[in-house]
Structure 1
Amino acid sequence: MPQHPRVPLVLVSGLAPAPNDELAGLLHAGPGTAVVHHDLRQIGSGVVRRRLRLGPRDELTALELAHGCVNCTLREDLLPLLRRLARMPQVHRIVVRLDEAMEPEPVSWAIRNVLVGDRPVIEDVAPEAVFTVLDCATWLADATGDELLAERGLQGSPEDERTLAQVALSQVESADVLVLSGSAPDAWCAARSSAVLDRVAPSVPRVEIGRTDAEGLLAAVPPDARRGAVTDLHGALLRGAPPLQPDCGIELHTFTAQRPFHPERLHEAIDVLLEGVVRTRGRAWVASQPDVAFWLESAGGGLGIGHAGPWLAAPDGPDWAEVSPERRTLASLRWDPVHGDRAQELVVVTDQATPEEIDAVLRGALLTDAELAEGEAAWRAYPDPFGDWHEDPCEETDEPDRHVNAANGNAANRKDETS
């Protein structure tokens, strides 16, 4: 471990450039605060523009990368830069103003796990807060629409096919504080936006950007904030206590079952999560791959499916002592004498679709009693449209296989492009 104290680190995310800049500028006013911003608008040409502000110093540098992607920006420049800044005596806080295409969680993962030299940067910086800025005039439309980042000129790599909704909701779910900028077009939009936020980030405080200073923003971070901690894909699917009753047509539905999905029927059923649904997150047990948990997310018309690692009951599953207490508790509550902790658990925030419709379609994708009786040997022989997985064109990292490998800008997307 280094002898010098770790420097507080703040991440700022959001889809709207101007409000992001406003918040970064507000935080920059603090003494000894360095603000870093990597602009990815020309990343398709292999060029990233880095802006560094520290006191009166304001430097703009054009970086040429071997591969035009966010992973390269992180590994080749941001992480080494954070270490250098943390060792400068005049730096008392570092603010990373993320590009609009970047999601906080993969950046936080890289800070904790990617080696710079022989150790990760987390030994030099102390995550203090993740702020996500919401432009109230546009956020709801972005979070519920089908528009691609590329259509807005915001993609994180030439191959980035994520939707605005995927990024907007991931940014909100990673936040310790939501910073509201501007106003909604009308009262109905404001009420619907609030209803969505109440269900996808129920415990996250909200502040208005024009009504506080940097000190007030940092004071709004809850004592139990995640501060960039990476999601446990086998942990609780929601933080806090979201309202269970519908509001402005927005409703929360939890789908659970203790029998596996048929892979082909699940592939067809997924369509129900892409229309009239704001957000889906959760774990799935697929009969043809019974030893591994699937992680499924949808947002707007965007879909992501990946592996969340083996179940505890799988032959190569982790030892109970190796997993979090939360995972052990959840597994104990639903443990089956035959199938162990394998189960379905999806949380769906609905809009135009009804919870009853979603529940019926998903239950229709489960194995029938006759199929269940056939056993695992028969299940493994089922045709499996989920057999092929995305591979990062850049060098491999140790990051867990999960759909939201969004640091590379190549998350799995629309269903007809992942089959």
Structure 2
Amino acid sequence: MTPHPRVPLVLVSGLAAEGNDELAELLRRAGPGVAVVHHDLRQIGSGIVRRRIRLGPRDQLTALELAHGCVNCTLREDLLPLLRRLARRPEVDRIVLRLDEAMEPEPVSWAIANVLVGDRPVSDDVEIEAVFTTVDRAAWLADASGDELLLERGLLGSPEDERTVAQVALAQVEFADVLVLAGDVPDAWCAAKTAAVLDRVAPSVPRVVLKGANSGLLFAAVPPESRRGEVVDLHGALLRGQPPLHADCGIEVLTFTSQRPFHPERLHEAIDTLLGGVIRTRGRAWVASQPDIAFWLESAGGGLAIGHAGPWLASPDGPDWTDVSPERRTLASLRWHPVHGDRAQELVVVTDLVAPKEIEDALNAALLTDAELAEGEAAWRSYPDPFGEWHEDPCEATEDDAEDEERHVNAANRKEEPQ
């Protein structure tokens, strides 16, 4: 039997609700076979999601009641099966998935490629053509540098969602193939500083102004090397493209690397420097008390999340070299240590109101001293460790691969935090 061609799928994300609606409508007008899907999560705390499907002249609104009110359940119970059904309808030639403002496109892309619906993932039926993220030119900079919780904004992915607006704003931008600039520019300084931040957190992502754009212009802007839904390798490069290294509007980039571990307590203290005057921190950390696990550390504005990125290649239970990406193998080969293998610190920090030197000094002070390094791994494991307990997602998954799904969705949303 000849497999049927996959239907192109476009993801629209962003915190700008009006911009998202305008972009989704623009894409819908590209042809009568474009289906637009939107799951409104504003009432998810009550277990209700409002689903809207538009296809041609039809506009269907349905209230869904979920056993567990969360994004993961919405994906598994409704969105993924719906994408398969739409893809198999002969009149549908493209699907536009207009994500709720609280949703990040990366975990959705992972679910499309990995979560089984029946006996196959939905990626057998749809192919991610592009990820467009809207950026409200008047509000995005404040959103990306603030400490407001999604709850305070009235946006939630689940009743237990503790993410900040900044975490979502930056995750949406970093995963985009094209940034779509919506709304009016308030002043020249805001425009220049917003551009300086975007140049450093998403250096390879082109930008298109929504006003006056058309679908042809948007798709033409997608670079050939775009990820198109490809999920981030937490052990891969921390930035796609080359950000400017000079300061612009006070925005700078610091790259911190070291091949000695952090002391857990001193790292915990140093983390405070990443929460004031810092736009973004992303990277891997080697903590002496847990030497076999790579930590994933990420801050956005005033929000911080720390999670596990899995074992190092040199760990006793680490993956085989043949099971990891070529990019990870290359990076590990370049820094391989005869004793510690690929264990290393690799952090990229985008600063605003704090000098990069201040952050670098704080992180250097958190590393093991020569005397501590000489004590060896057995002694390191006995250090008091404030990173020892981890948040678990309360939702019980139903698929056979649910544990992997939950682990990846949490990592992608960076919601695992020390208690």
TM-score above 0.5, yes or no: yes
Q: Which residue of 1 aligns with 2:117?
A: 116
Alignment of 1:158-197 (within 5 A): 158-197=159-198
Q: In structure 2, how many angstroms separate the alpha carbons of the residues matched to 1:401 and 1:370?
A: 36
What displacement does 1:390 show?
A: 1.1
Alignment of 1:291-306 (within 5 A): 291-306=292-307
What is the one-letter code of the residue matched to 1:70?
V
1:242 aligns with 2:243: yes
**Shift in alpha-carbon separation, 1:260–1:281, aligned structure 2, 3 A:** same
1:9 aligns with 2:9: yes
What displacement does 1:401 show?
A: 3.5
Q: Aligned pair count? A: 413
**Shift in alpha-carbon separation, 1:125–1:306, aligned structure 2, 3 A:** same
Q: In structure 1, how many angstroms separate the alpha carbons of the residues matched to 2:412 and 2:315?
A: 27
**SS in structure 2 of the partner of residue 267 of structure 1:** helix
**SS in structure 1 of the partner of residue 131 of structure 2:** strand
Q: Which residue of 2 aligns with 1:27?
A: 27
Q: In structure 1, how many angstroms separate the alpha carbons of the residues matched to 2:14 and 2:189?
A: 22
Q: Deviations over 1:54-92 (max 9, x none)?
A: 011100000000001000100000000000000001100
What displacement does 1:281 show?
A: 0.2
What displacement does 1:2 show?
A: 7.3
**Shift in alpha-carbon separation, 1:82–1:55, aligned structure 2, 3 A:** same
Q: Which residue of 2 aligns with 1:320?
A: 321
What displacement does 1:400 show?
A: 6.7
Q: In structure 2, how many angstroms separate the alpha carbons of the residues matched to 1:30 and 1:84?
A: 21
Q: Which residue of 2 aligns with 1:147?
A: 148
Q: In structure 1, how many angstroms separate the alpha carbons of the residues matched to 2:124 and 2:390?
A: 33
Q: In structure 1, how many angstroms separate the alpha carbons of the residues matched to 2:2 and 2:236?
A: 32
Q: Tell whether the 8 Å contact from 1:303 to 1:412 is kept in structure 2 after alignment.
A: no
Q: Which residue of 2 aligns with 1:136?
A: 137
Q: Tell whether the 8 Å contact from 2:256 to 2:347 is kept in structure 1 after alignment.
A: yes
Q: Tell whether the 8 Å contact from 1:273 to 1:358 is kept in structure 2 after alignment.
A: yes
Q: Which residue of 2 aligns with 1:399?
A: 405
What displacement does 1:405 show?
A: 4.2
Q: Tell whether the 8 Å contact from 1:237 to 1:281 is kept in structure 2 after alignment.
A: yes
Query: Structure 2: which 5+ runs fail to align?
Result: none
**SS in structure 2 of the partner of residue 102 of structure 1:** coil
Q: Tell whether the 8 Å contact from 1:176 to 1:226 is kept in structure 2 after alignment.
A: yes
Q: Which residue of 1 aligns with 2:382?
A: 381
Q: Tell whether the 8 Å contact from 1:305 to 1:402 is kept in structure 2 after alignment.
A: no
Provide the TM-score with structure 1 as the length reference: 0.96
What displacement does 1:184 show?
A: 2.4
Q: Tell whether the 8 Å contact from 2:307 to 2:415 is kept in structure 1 after alignment.
A: no
Alignment of 1:18-417 (within 5 A): 18-31=18-31, 32-396=33-397, 397=402, 398-399=404-405, 401=407, 404-405=410-411, 411-412=415-416
What displacement does 1:211 show?
A: 2.5
Provide the TM-score with structure 2 as the length reference: 0.96
Q: Percent identity?
A: 77
Q: In structure 1, how many angstroms separate the alpha carbons of the residues matched to 2:316 and 2:184?
A: 53
What is the one-letter code of the residue matched to 1:73?
T
What displacement does 1:158 show?
A: 1.3
Query: Structure 1: which 5+ runs fail to align?
Result: none
Q: Tell whether the 8 Å contact from 1:38 to 1:98 is kept in structure 2 after alignment.
A: yes
